[in-house]
Amino acid sequence: MMAFWQPKRTAVLPVLAAALAVALAAPAQAQPTAPSAWRVTVGPGFIVGPRYVGSDDIRVLPIPALDIRRDNLFLNGRDGLGVDLLRDPGGLRAGVAVFARFGRKEKDDPVALAGLGDIDPVPQLRAFAAHRLGRVRISAQIARDLGGSRGTTLDLDASASTALSDRVILSGGPQLSFGDARFTRAFFGITATQATAGRRTPYAVGSGLFQAGVGASLIVKLDDRWSMTAISSVARLTGAFARSPVVTDRTQKSGGLFLAYTF
């Protein structure tokens, strides 16, 4: 896996192609034609997590439970705005989407981030592929920041689900996050210029696995329209990234709770 993450701009295209090739290589099966219709799920929610990657400060953000779909088009808080290029009855799905990368502000931690300046939130282009095998779902997602770090990340995860009752589903599994050198330098490194501005020592990092953890979700179907979802994850920053001076907590915890109504 590490061979994909050399600090070269040209590395983005072969990785992007590889992620989609896995899904697109399988022939899609024909689906019955059905009248096109909107499917809308919406409701209140919030997430709790680190103020920035590596922070020991927690923040709460109000995030609505939102999922709007029509045919292969979708808009939701997990995948962004995108289109399924492949979706077959065998559980294979692949597509592209536009989402956002949250940044950070120097004032989030004036000590750990002294002299580093702000990393603005930016749009990102995503390519994803996922395959469901019975109760197990595996997925890969590549994201390229269109600004900010201008870096690329690769997220891999697998989860297994089980029905605790007719209305309750529990799922969870491992999660891995890789970054190219542009991304990791922006979020974990300290350049010579930044070091001078903040009166600190430069810190260099390369590409690689920067975070590994586990995630879980619990879905409770309250009735035919209403549902509640709870999510949580615990991840550990790895190697040189965890030792970065900008990191004040190597263990990154997050969670969320959502109440949704489906039309």
Q: Is the pLDDT of residue 15 over 90?
A: no
Higher pLDDT, 149 or 30: 149
Is 254 within the bounds of a domain?
A: yes
Per the domain annotation, does 148 fall within a domain? yes
pLDDT of 7 above 90 = no
Residue 113 lies in a domain: yes
Average pLDDT, stretch 75-85?
Answer: 94
239 conformational bin, left if phi > 0, alpha if psi -120 to 50, beta if neither:
left
Domain count, the chain: 1
R_g of the chain computed on alpha carbons: 20
Domain residue limits at 86: 2-23+38-262
Q: What tokens does 116 get?
A: 């580093």
On whether residue 31 sits in a domain, the answer given is no
Whether residue 145 is contained in a domain is answered as: yes
In a domain, 28, yes or no: no
Mean pLDDT, the chain, as a whole number?
89
Is residue 222 one of the residues assigned to a domain? Answer: yes
What is the Cα–Cα distance from 96 to 47, expressed in whole angstroms? Answer: 24
- Which CATH number do you get for residue 220? 2.40.160.40
Name the band, by pLDDT with cuts 50, 70 and 90, for residue 31.
very low
pLDDT at res. 35: 53
Q: Which of 30-34, 142-146, 216-220 has the lowest mean pLDDT?
A: 30-34
pLDDT at site 78? 87
